[in-house]
């Protein structure tokens, strides 16, 4: 990246403009998952892997009615949990991780979802993306920026990163945005990716970022 549009100064200015404009579009950004406690958010986020938030929100009311917290989930049977979450996909592995994460929370963290990245990453089924979502939304702790398929796509199209791995994308993004905005940046890019800059046919003609977007990869296979 040697041309002007990818110089550090240019990218930093673009990032600032992106944050300011999307903040106007999404005045109260938040996850579309339904949750009332850190545990519920953790469960919903684990279930959301390779699944829509809408589908997860259909499943979790029954799940939380049957197993209200980590204590109940830790003692749940694998088959019972699988039956409830089957429609979210990869249900066997997700059920195994939910039960194991619940057990660790009970035995190691006194029944409370951890509040640090280091501790979150010890939970089965939890990688940086899930940890960032829970820490930011449940506790207001900003350890990084959760990178999902929307964040990956939008940050690349906007020229904010040239990387493809989530960890490296996150590294680039946290350098461009103020720490206190990291949680909001995830929401901005996820919502924008769902509503405007969709994968197959981005709505560039009605996009408020059109004048500053280099459209990296647009028109190519994602």
201 classed as catalytic: no
DSSP 155-182: HHHTTS----SHHHHHHHHHHHS-GGGH
51 assigned binding-site residue = no
The answer to whether 60 and 87 are in contact (CB under 8 A) is no
Name the catalytic one among 129, 152, 172, 184.
129
The answer to whether 104 and 123 are in contact (CB under 8 A) is yes
DSSP 85-97: HGGGSSHHHHHHH
Closest listed residue to residue 56, CA positions, set 15, 89, 13, 100: 89
Tracing tokens 């993306």 back to the chain, one arrives at 129
Name the catalytic one among 5, 12, 148, 172.
148
CA distance 96 to 80: 11
CA distance 46 to 133: 10
Give first-to-last CA distance, the chain, whole Å: 20
129 classed as catalytic: yes
CA distance 215 to 217: 6
CA distance 27 to 29: 6
Residues annotated as catalytic are 129, 148
What are the binding residues for [4Fe-4S] cluster?
197, 204, 207, 213
């Amino acid at each position: 990246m040697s041309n002007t549009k990818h110089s550090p100064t240019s990218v930093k200015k673009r990032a600032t403009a992106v944050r300011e404009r999307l903040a106007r579009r999404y005045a109260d950004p938040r996850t579309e998952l339904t949750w009332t406690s850190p545990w519920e958010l953790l469960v919903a986020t684990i279930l959301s892997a390779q699944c829509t938030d809408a589908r997860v929100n259909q499943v979790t009311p029954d799940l939380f009615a049957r197993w209200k917290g980590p204590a109940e989930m830790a003692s749940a049977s694998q088959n019972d949990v699988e039956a409830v979450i089957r429609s979210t996909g990869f249900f066997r592995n997700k059920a195994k991780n939910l039960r194991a994460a619940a057990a660790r929370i009970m035995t190691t963290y006194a029944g409370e979802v951890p509040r640090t990245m280091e501790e979150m990453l010890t939970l089965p089924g939890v990688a940086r993306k899930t940890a960032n979502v829970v820490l930011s939304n449940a506790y207001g702790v900003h350890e990084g920026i959760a990178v999902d398929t929307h964040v990956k796509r939008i940050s690349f199209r906007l020229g904010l990163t040239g990387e493809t791995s989530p960890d490296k994308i996150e590294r680039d993004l946290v350098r461009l945005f103020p720490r206190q905005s990291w949680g909001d940046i995830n929401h901005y890019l996820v919502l924008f990716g769902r509503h405007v800059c969709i994968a197959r046919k981005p709505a560039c003609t009605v996009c408020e970022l059109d004048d500053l977007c280099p459209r990296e990869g647009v028109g190519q296979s994602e």
